[in-house]
Amino acid sequence: MEEMKRNPRIESFLLTLKILFQSPASVFGVVVVLIYIAIAAIDQFDPSLIGLTNVNSLVPNFTIPEPLPPSPAHPFGTVYPGIDIFTGILKAIRIDIGFAFFVVILGAVSGVLIGVISAYFGGWIDEIVMRITDIFFSIPYLVLAIAIGFFLGRSLFILSVGLIIIWWPIYARVVRGQSLAVREQTFVEAARASGVGNSKIMFRHILPNTLAPIFVQFSFDLATIVLTLATLNFIGFAPANAYLPDMGYLSSIGYEYAVIGDWWTIVFPGFGLLLFALAMNLVGDGLRDALDPRLRR
C-alpha cells in the first residue's frame, strides 16, 4: 500500500474534536476548563507554598481580622481571618478538581462494570442491581451524603467515598441501557457463535461500544460533584476548623460579611464556582453533539 499508514482511531478522535470546536460555546468551555486544570497543576509548584505551609489548607492571618477590599496585595481581597481570597481560590480549584475527578472516575468505573455485567447476564442479577439503583435514586443525594458523613466522619476522603457510593448508580443505569442495545446487535451474537467467552464479549465487544454517553455524563458530573462539595461545605458540613480550601467553604465564611456590604468575600468564590460549572456543562453539551452520529451531517 502506497499511502502512509494512518491510524483510524486517531482520525475519528480528530473528527470528534473538529466537530466539538465548530461550536463557539464548546470552545469557550474547553478553554476555561483547561485554564482551571492548568491552575490546579501549576499550583503544585508555587514556590511560596512548597514546604512552607500545607497546600491543602487555607492560610489564616489573625492580624487582619477585618475583611480587606481588593487591592494590589490582595487582588480579590481578604476574608476573616485574614485569608487571601485569590490564593484561596487557586488552592480551591486544585482541591475541587482533584476531588471531582477522584469521585467521578471511581464512581464511573464501578458503575460501568456493574452496569455491563447486569445488562449482559440479565434475569435476577439485573433485577437486583436495578432495584438497588432505584433505592439510591429515591434518596436525595445531599441527604445521603450528609448521613454517610455523619456516621463515618467528616474528612474529605470519607466524603468522597460517600459520594462514590451515591454516584455509581447513574453510570450503572446509563451503561446498562446502552449495553442492552449493544447486546442485541449481531456482532455480539457473531462473537458467541464463534465461541468467544462471556467476559471477552462483555469487555471487548459490548463495553467499548457504550462509552460515548459515559464521556458526556462524565463531564456533566465533574461540575455536579464540584457543586455538591461546595454545597456541603457551604452548609457547614466541612471538616471542622480545617481551613479547607474549597469554593463552598470560602463562600460560607464570606457570606456573613457579604450581608454587611463586603461583596468581594462572596462574589469571587461564587464566580469561580459558576465559571467552572458552566464551562464543564458547555463541554458536556458539545461532547454530546460531537459524539452523537445522528447530529453529524
Partner 1 sequence: MEKEMIKLNQGPLLEVKDLSVEFLTDFGNVKALNNINLQIKEGEFIGIVGESGSGKSTLAFSISALLPPNAKVSGYVKFKNDIITSPEISGFSTVKMKRSQRKILTSTMANIRWKGISMIFQGAMNSFNPVYTIGKQIEEVFYIHTDLPKEEVKKKVVDLVKTAHLDPSVLKSYPHELSGGMKQRAIIAMALALSPDLVIADEPTTGLDVISQAKIIEELKRLRKEGKIKTLIIISHDLGVVSQLADRVLVMYGGNIFEEANKDEILEKPFNPYTFELLNSYPSILKTDQILKGIPGNPPDLTKDRPGCVFAERCEFAQQICFETKPKLMEIGERKSYCHFADTIAKDPIKFFTSNLTAGEGALDLLERSDISKNKTLIKLENLKKYFNLRGSASGELFGSISSKKFVRAVDDITLEIKEGEILGLVGESGSGKTTLGRVVLRTLDVTSGHLYVNFSKDSGDDFKDIAKVKEKSKLFKEYRLMTQMIFQDPYDSLNPKMLISDIVTEPVRAHKVTKDPMEMEEMASYTLSLVKLNPPERYMDRYPHELSGGERQRVAMARAFILKPKLLVADEPISMLDVSLRASFLNLILSLRKEFNLTVLYITHDIASAKYISDNILVIYLGEGIEYGSSNDLINNPLHPYTKALIKAIPDVYGMKEFSETDIIGEVGNAIDIPQGCRFYDRCPYRQEKCKNEKPPKRGTENHWYICHFSQEELENIRKNKNQK
Point out which residues bind partner 1 (CB under 8 A): 1, 5, 8-9, 12, 15, 18-19, 123-124, 127, 185-187, 189-197, 200, 204-205, 208-209, 296-297
Smallest separation, CB 110 to partner 1 (Å)? 22
For partner 1, the closer of residues 61 and 185 by Cβ is 185
Identify the burial level of 12 via C-beta atoms within 10 angstroms of its C-beta, where 0-12 means exposed, 13-18 middle and 19 or more buried: exposed
84 Cβ contact partners less than 8 Å away, ≥ 6 residues apart:
59, 74, 76, 78
| 248 and 234 Cβ atoms separated by less than 8 Å | yes
- Closest CA relative to residue 248, chosen from 282, 239, 166, 32: 239
For partner 1, the closer of residues 54 and 185 by Cβ is 185
Residue 275: C-alpha distances to residues 21, 58, 71, 79, 194 (Å): 19, 21, 22, 21, 51
Smallest separation, CB 19 to partner 1 (Å)? 7
Smallest separation, CB 177 to partner 1 (Å)? 15
CA distance 211 to 225: 20
For partner 1, the closer of residues 19 and 97 by Cβ is 19
Smallest separation, CB 51 to partner 1 (Å)? 47
Residue with cell 464570606: 254
Smallest separation, CB 138 to partner 1 (Å)? 17
Smallest separation, CB 216 to partner 1 (Å)? 17
H runs (alpha helix) in the chain: 8-20, 24-43, 85-121, 123-138, 141-152, 156-183, 186-193, 198-200, 211-234, 247-259, 264-291
How many of the other CB atoms lie within 10 Å of CB of 204?
Answer: 12
Smallest separation, CB 137 to partner 1 (Å)? 17
For partner 1, the closer of residues 66 and 189 by Cβ is 189
Please give the helix or strand (H or E) that residue 2 lies within, else none: none
For partner 1, the closer of residues 66 and 127 by Cβ is 127
For partner 1, the closer of residues 15 and 147 by Cβ is 15
- Closest CA relative to residue 118, chosen from 66, 175, 192: 175
For partner 1, the closer of residues 4 and 260 by Cβ is 4
DSSP secondary structure code for residue 53 in this structure: S
